[in-house]
Structure 1
């Protein structure tokens, strides 16, 4: 524990001190190796209310728009156009001065890998970003916000009503990232279940991303077997804070597919997604269709954001969730911004709720 605390302090302090020089991605060289230090701190204050809650909670919290983190990565030229790569990235909670997204979180939960990169792409091994996560972040107007984004809440956070059975990062995984060819790139990730005699308990997933001009498109999917599913937690995946599939038994496996598209008109950028998720449990099934739409309208000093998400829960689960968020981001250059957002979240079987807040982000 003491070693982990010292390492966290060293990484965070090094990045912040080096960032004081005024660059947004601090680099240094050690022989032939090049190291980069980077991160983001996001703190917000407001009122949080979950659907069905008896009352709201006033709080100062971390990660209103993005989950706070600090990281370092390294590259080293090898031979024949190959480069060695590595990264260590940990989540932070600046509101309480602690590491992780919640107590007991994996120390380097954001990523921890080593690999090779060349003209045919990149291969990394360790803890890699889940292939389903980034497409969801890229194709909604509120990005990776676990506090305000309908897309993220309906997919990753919200208990029974945001039920991805896996984190935003996959441990014990091997990932391949293709080079970009005419605007098209993709990845494939496989995570070992590491259970004796249960070689089939694993995670597999992929994503494709295409960008040309103002148009963007993505296709992503994954399969998670029960033995490899992430245990429920408060923020980073699993079955989340509003409950679990306890009424339908224990998770056996889950698959999902997502299609997303965006177009930047200049005066506004629009986003849309469709997601189908199928979850098999020992006591029944839960099939979920999710539709999200959003728009980001730039202003001279920031952007107005609007997003809507609807999930229809079928099969052995009969429910519906509707979430609408409106927000504004005010930029002070590329490293600092202030934001405000208000969200209405309604689940048919529960009472609706309102969450609102204001926050600030600093990147280096």
Structure 2
């Protein structure tokens, strides 16, 4: 007697579901990300007019990603991640025109429960992670004073080498009683500049209300080997060190960071000293955020930069928040710039 088609289809579907369940027990793939857009106005330091804009990434840069793992048994997993920044105001991929599709992260690696994790590909640097975890505006490229002083340097200040490195390998330790560390190395990939590289490391400590970090990196090229000379004649390498700490009192969380940067330049080195102090105060269904950062240059350059920001981030749900913020930026020799606006961010 033949089997009816509906019964056969049901058997096939059941078998597929069983196979899917067995596979999901051994491996997983997750889609995730966030969309952040804001309305407001910007004026850069110097002889510029204020421009009204609808921008992306007010509190954090929009991105989407895929990540997954496969259980290889014995506490060992294969892991991967592909993460793309995008601009919600235009729909374009990347943080800016010409940015790579998976510029946030693009890696594959192995992770052990006891030995840690090794990843290779394009990787977010440990220095960037330490920078954003110890200031109240976190990774905002619109309102965070510490992000501006570190990654959006003006008048020769700030670090080179980007927040993510191509052709890199990183080892991350497991957490031991709240203490963990990461070490990264970036290859030049150019036989004509085989001696040039990037490398860095950080240590992170979390224990109750207290957290702290120290980070270091040395960079011998910015985006392509041999390109530091185009930024300044005789520019050979940059060394940067940062220390940060935070303490959550409940009624307020305090943040502090110190940063020292040295540009090794044939015509005369440039050093930068500075840091950031900030606070996050719970208020209603949100938090008041405040931050001040200072950087002073010495050596072949004498530039001072003072930046502060004030904002309020209101939680609508577990995934969605709205915010308003004001940012002021003063660089010696230039008229003050500022940014203000309101925005919304949702995660998925």
TM-score, structure 1 normalization: 0.86
Q: CA deviation at 1:30?
A: 5.4
Q: How far apart, in 2, do the equivalents of 1:187 and 1:224 lie?
A: 17
Distance 1:29 1:358, change over 3 A: farther
Q: How far apart, in 2, do the equivalents of 1:222 and 1:160 lie?
A: 21
Q: How far apart, in 2, do the equivalents of 1:111 and 1:170 lie?
A: 9
Q: CA deviation at 1:162?
A: 4.4
Q: CA deviation at 1:108?
A: 0.4
Q: Which residue of 2 aligns with 1:179?
A: 174
Q: How far apart, in 1, do the equivalents of 2:264 and 2:120 lie?
A: 29
Name structure 1 gaps, 5 residues minimum: 1-27, 232-237
Q: Which residue of 1 aligns with 2:271?
A: 287
Distance 1:47 1:267, change over 3 A: same
Equivalent of residue 230 in structure 1, options 213, 223, 230: 223
Q: Which residue of 1 aligns with 2:134?
A: 139
Equivalent of residue 115 in structure 1, options 109, 128, 143: 109
Whether the 8 Å contact between 1:122 and 1:177 is mirrored in structure 2 is yes
Q: Which residue of 2 aligns with 1:330?
A: 314
Equivalent of residue 36 in structure 1, options 26, 30, 44: 30
- Cα shift readout 1:137-185 (whole Å, capped 9, x = no counterpart): 0000100001110100000013335421111111100001111001100
Q: Which residue of 2 aligns with 1:71?
A: 65
Q: CA deviation at 1:31?
A: 7.3
Q: How far apart, in 2, do the equivalents of 1:288 and 1:278 lie?
A: 6
Q: Which residue of 1 aligns with 2:9?
A: none
Equivalent of residue 251 in structure 2, options 256, 260, 267: 267
Q: CA deviation at 1:194?
A: 1.3
Q: Secondary structure at the match of 2:83?
A: strand
Q: How far apart, in 2, do the equivalents of 1:147 and 1:65 lie?
A: 7
Q: How far apart, in 1, do the equivalents of 2:47 and 2:56 lie?
A: 21
Name structure 2 gaps, 5 residues minimum: 1-21
Residue 90 (structure 2) pairs with residue 106 (structure 1): no
Q: Which residue of 1 aligns with 2:295?
A: 311
Residue 238 (structure 2) pairs with residue 254 (structure 1): yes
Q: Secondary structure at the match of 2:289?
A: strand
Distance 1:255 1:181, change over 3 A: same
Whether the 8 Å contact between 1:254 and 1:278 is mirrored in structure 2 is yes
Q: Which residue of 2 aligns with 1:154?
A: 149
Q: Secondary structure at the match of 1:284?
A: coil
Whether the 8 Å contact between 2:157 and 2:297 is mirrored in structure 1 is no
TM-score, structure 2 normalization: 0.89
Q: How far apart, in 1, do the equivalents of 2:279 and 2:66 lie?
A: 33
Whether the 8 Å contact between 2:155 and 2:303 is mirrored in structure 1 is no
- Cα shift readout 1:310-354 (whole Å, capped 9, x = no counterpart): 001111100100001000000012210000100111001211112
Whether the 8 Å contact between 2:157 and 2:272 is mirrored in structure 1 is no
Instruction: State which structure, 1 or 2, has the greater radius of gyration over its C-alpha atoms.
Output: 2
Whether the 8 Å contact between 1:154 and 1:161 is mirrored in structure 2 is no
- Cα shift readout 1:62-103 (whole Å, capped 9, x = no counterpart): 101100000010100003210000010000101001111011
Q: How far apart, in 2, do the equivalents of 1:31 and 1:219 lie?
A: 38
